[in-house]
Amino acid sequence: MEPILILENVKKVYQKAQRSVEALRGIDLTIDKGALLAIVGPSGSGKTTLLNIVGCLDQPTSGSVRYDGRELGGMTEKELAVYRKENISFIFQSYNLIPVLTVVENVELPMVIERRYTKKEMRDRAMQIISSVGLAEMSDRFPRELSGGQEQRVAIARALVKQPIVVLADEPTANLDSHTAEEIVELMERMNGTRETTFIFSTHDALVQRHAHRVVTIRDGLIQADDAITDERVHV
């Protein structure tokens, strides 16, 4: 498989109350298209910072991030926003659905922002993906009417509806019970298999790690281990 993301010597330093905190201290990582990769490590190890940099929500202090051969470091904020909009989707630990929008409206939101679909197209695509996450009957409900697992399913549907190349998931199962977490991970694994979407998780959850094809362990801002899990698609 060809690499979709290449990180070279990526460092990130935060200034906090007149002292510098090194969140990432030189990360080298190559991620292939269609990977199912878990980033694990203790709290404060730099997992979320790494995801934010890959997702263009944050800029590295130094080092290079290349997406599909293109260097992201030289992009303006506007270009980064376009890159993010066209290629990347996010799944958050606390789902972060928009509470005043219904399930289907939440799922349509990324397409609304993209402004290249008709209303009917948006509705059809949204309903199709909602069905595939098993929530067709609940499309008109508001997030407050759903369980945590259902909310995360909607979040996954929202992340996948515009067919992104990469989905970044920050602790996607942290707020779910083990049974629901299993369902959610299986759902993401299925989407990874059928749509060839690249999934990158940050997680503490052993279950998520078990389903991943590759597990990268980070500690104190450095990669401590990078293990392929018996999957031929995974490159180390």
Binding site for another protein (CB under 8 A): 52, 55, 57-58, 81, 84-85, 90, 92, 94, 96, 98-101, 105, 109-110, 112-114
Q: Do 133 and 54 touch, CB atoms closer than 8 A? A: no
Least separation in angstroms between CB 114 and another protein? 7
Give the residue with the Cβ less far from another protein, 145 or 231. 145
Give the residue with the Cβ less far from another protein, 38 or 155. 155
Q: What is the CA radius of gyration of the chain?
A: 18
Distance between CA atoms of residues 196 and 201, nearest Å: 15
Give the residue with the Cβ less far from another protein, 167 or 234. 167
Number of H helices, E strands in the chain: 7, 10
Give the residue with the Cβ less far from another protein, 21 or 113. 113
Least separation in angstroms between CB 179 and another protein? 26
Sign of the dihedral defined by the CA atoms of residues 19, 23, 25, 26, in that order: negative
Give the residue with the Cβ less far from another protein, 161 or 215. 161
Least separation in angstroms between CB 85 and another protein? 4
Least separation in angstroms between CB 100 and another protein? 4
Paired tokens of 103: 């399930």
Paired tokens of 58: 């944050």
Q: What is the DSSP string of 9-47?
A: EEEEEEEETTEEEEEEEEEEEEEETT-EEEEE--TTSSH
**Which residue(s) pair with 3 in the sheet?**
32
Least separation in angstroms between CB 44 and another protein? 13
Q: Do 175 and 140 touch, CB atoms closer than 8 A? A: no
Least separation in angstroms between CB 164 and another protein? 11
Which stretch of DSSP H or E encloses residue 184? helix 178-195
Give the residue with the Cβ less far from another protein, 110 or 221. 110
